[in-house]
Amino acid sequence: MKRIHCLLVLLAGLLALPAQAAPAIQHWVTPEGVRVYFIENHDLPILDLEIDFAAGGAYAPATKAGLAGLTNGLLDGGIEGLDEEQIAGRLVDLGARLGAAVDADRASLSLRTLSSATERDGALDLMQRILTHPVFPEAIVEREKARAIAALQEADTRPDAIGSKRFMAALYPGHPYGVTPTVDTVARITRDDLIAFHQRYYAARRAVVSLIGDVSRGEAEALVRRLTAGLPAGVADAGLPPVSLPDAATIRIPHPAAQSHIWIGMPALKRGDPDSYALQVGNYTLGGGGFVSRLMKEVREKRGYAYSVYSGFSARREMGPFQIGLQTKREQSADALKVVDGVLSGFLHDGPTPAELEAAKRNLADSLALRTDSNAKLLGYLAVIGFYGLPLDYLDTYPARIRAVTADEVRAAFARHVEASHLVTVIVAGDAR
């Protein structure tokens, strides 16, 4: 009876998969060298837009770590003719939401606005001035440095922050990916540093604009021209230094927390690596597939060792980290770690079973519809496709690429990207008492 039921479910699943074409991505390059990615969608009267620069944390000197984030965060600290309060007030009056974000590779400004011309144009013009002519007022720079330092000092008391910092430093010795801001590096940053960083890195040739929403192609072209008018041409991104792999190590950091925080991982994956499909499929079974992964089953479901346990690859321009993470009552951290090590080495050795492979492929392929069912989610994909130069048909071909992965490919890809001789383990608050 159960089998028949499963067969029916399977059939329903197959029938339920019309070739749901991903929305068409339009792409062009402005005369100044800005790459543009656009999806036209008139369902809602809104426009979402993001501009990304190769200006993330990895582009700042190690002695001034935090410079990329401060520069990005202070763009709206003042422009000619408007102070920070006037900028904030004007955006609020327009009903617009301006976001700023920095990761290792990218620095971004994003805007969500109503698509009606007055609101849209008003918000965009303001964003343009913020982007191209920030003043970085001295007093505001000093205030935000002080806030950043206070936040860093607070973070230095937290087991999760202490551990993740140490983890990245251990994975990337001597590489910008291993550098995180400290009280000293932030204290060293001056207003002149911000001006110079902005001048050099917020440039047309380093920029990618992604937009989705209620505008025509013609309107989109005009909007992008207006937004990027005034950006210096600059120099195209020369890339980041290659990553060298660390030796395997275990690092223990004492802390009085009730739970141990544990990380295991190594540098593993570049954006655009052809292995990324096989790694995604494999990782789903290992620890990416939420409640159905092996780590979740063995650590949480069977033994009650943790509330959260996961694994994942964060692809970056250069090799981004593979990491496993969990938190567990400190008295049982050695036992939990043993289980995690066992799951990982078992998976590296055997790869997924046929049933696991099938489940992973089906979920990853079929859930694309869910991962692209809003403008906000699509904007995220657009920005990654654009910034990392992934093919324009990335979303269209994704399900087929996933479905084509074999168990042998998963094993081989994991063997190439996750090696025991390079795995670093960091344990905060791990000693039993």
Q: Which of residues 283-312 bind other proteins (CB under 8 A)?
A: 289-292, 297, 300-308
> Rounded to whole angstroms, what are the CA distances from 133 to 68, 107, 125, 195, 230?
17, 16, 12, 10, 8
Calpha distance 254→8 (Å, rounded): 54
Q: Which residues contact 143 (CB under 8 A, 6 or more apart)?
A: none
- What residue type is 19 in one-letter code? A
Of the residues 35, 64, 106, 112, which one makes contact with other proteins according to CB under 8 A: 112
Minimum distance from residue 154 beta carbon to other proteins (Å): 5
Structure tokens belonging to residue 74 = 């202070």
Minimum distance from residue 52 beta carbon to other proteins (Å): 20
Calpha distance 106→62 (Å, rounded): 17
Of the residues 241, 254, 272, 389, which one makes contact with other proteins according to CB under 8 A: 254
How many residues line the site for other proteins (CB under 8 A)? 76
Calpha distance 413→407 (Å, rounded): 10
Residue 94: other Cβ atoms inside 10 A: 20
Calpha distance 327→333 (Å, rounded): 8
Scanning residues 54 to 93, which ones bind other proteins (CB under 8 A)?
A: 84-85, 88-89, 91-93
Minimum distance from residue 391 beta carbon to other proteins (Å): 22
Q: Output 228 or 260, the one with its CB closest to other proteins.
A: 260
Q: Output 31 or 81, the one with its CB closest to other proteins.
A: 81
> Rounded to whole angstroms, what are the CA distances from 123 to 146, 183, 218?
30, 35, 18
For other proteins, which stretch binds (CB under 8 A), given 5-13, 163-171, 262-270, 344-352? 5-13
Residue 24 as a binder of other proteins (CB under 8 A): the answer is no
Q: Output 200 or 303, the one with its CB closest to other proteins.
A: 303
Scanning residues 188 to 207, which ones bind other proteins (CB under 8 A)?
A: none
Scanning residues 317 to 376, which ones bind other proteins (CB under 8 A)?
A: 327-330, 359, 362-363, 365-370, 372-376
Q: Output 245 or 359, the one with its CB closest to other proteins.
A: 359
**Strands (DSSP E) found in 255-335:** 259-269, 309-313, 320-329
Minimum distance from residue 65 beta carbon to other proteins (Å): 19
Residue 12 as a binder of other proteins (CB under 8 A): the answer is yes
- As a dihedral over the C-alpha atoms of residue 165, residue 171, residue 172, residue 178, rounded to 10 degrees, the angle is -10
Calpha distance 36→138 (Å, rounded): 34
Residue 13 as a binder of other proteins (CB under 8 A): the answer is yes
Structure tokens belonging to residue 41 = 């969608």
Task: Show the binding pattern over residues 152-191: x = contacts other proteins (CB under 8 A), - = does not.
Answer: -xx-xx-x--------------------------------
Scanning residues 92 to 111, which ones bind other proteins (CB under 8 A)?
A: 92-98
Task: Show the binding pattern over residues 138-157: x = contacts other proteins (CB under 8 A), - = does not.
Answer: --x--x--xx-xxx-xx-xx
Minimum distance from residue 149 beta carbon to other proteins (Å): 7
Minimum distance from residue 218 beta carbon to other proteins (Å): 23
DSSP string, 248-274: PEEEEE----SEEEEEEEEEEEBTT-T
